[in-house]
Amino acid sequence: MQSDMRELDGLLDYTIQHNKEHAEELKNLAEKARELGKSRVDDEIKRGVEQLNQANQSLEKALKQLRE
């Protein structure tokens, strides 16, 4: 059971960090889309980044609860 807890902790932590990296990459893509005159694409990517950040908040809460 303890190894399962460590595995879950590690996977959650990894996923949170991974999502943060992707969010930064997506912000750069949104900026490029805007530069190309694709403001709707920029808007949708930014909306996706917001949703990713919200998902990360839930994952961070789960990780905190796991560690209590």
CA distance to 1, 14, 25, 37, per residue, from 9 (Å): 12, 9, 25, 42
Q: What is the pLDDT of residues 6-32, one digit of tens each?
A: 999 999 999 999 999 999 999 999 999
pLDDT in tens, 19-65: 999 999 999 999 999 999 999 999 999 999 999 999 999 999 999 99
Domain count, the chain: 1
Provide the residue range defining the domain that includes 8.
2-67
CB distance 42 to 34 below 8 Å = yes
- Retrieve residue 13's tokens: 């932590």
Residues in the chain, how many?
Answer: 68
Token pair belonging to 8: 């879950």
